[in-house]
Amino acid sequence: MALVLAIVKRSDDMRGFVVLPKRWIVERFFAHLMRTRRLVRDFERSTSSAEAMIYWSMTLLMTRRLARPRPSRA
């Protein structure tokens, strides 16, 4: 699996709040992980159990999204 890492830096001439591209995706992902109580702190002793908890958290998120009723189109 290939992974590409792109670092988005804020320029010095920006003033105030400016949305940086793709940064909100990462921050939203971390917010979803922090909803899972066990992932708020680093309780896991091995990386495999921490990875399993991340999969569990994302599985909960996906099942909630799939179970939501869709709004009907008018």
DSSP string, 45-66: SSHHHHHHHHHHHHHHHHHHHH
What pLDDT is attached to residue 39? 75
User: Above 70 in pLDDT, residue 74?
Assistant: no
Q: Who's near 50: CB < 8 A, 6+ residues apart?
A: 39, 42, 44
pLDDT digits (tens, 9 = 90+) for 28-55: 888 888 777 777 777 778 888 888 888 8
Mean pLDDT on 2-21: 74
What pLDDT sits at residue 60?
87
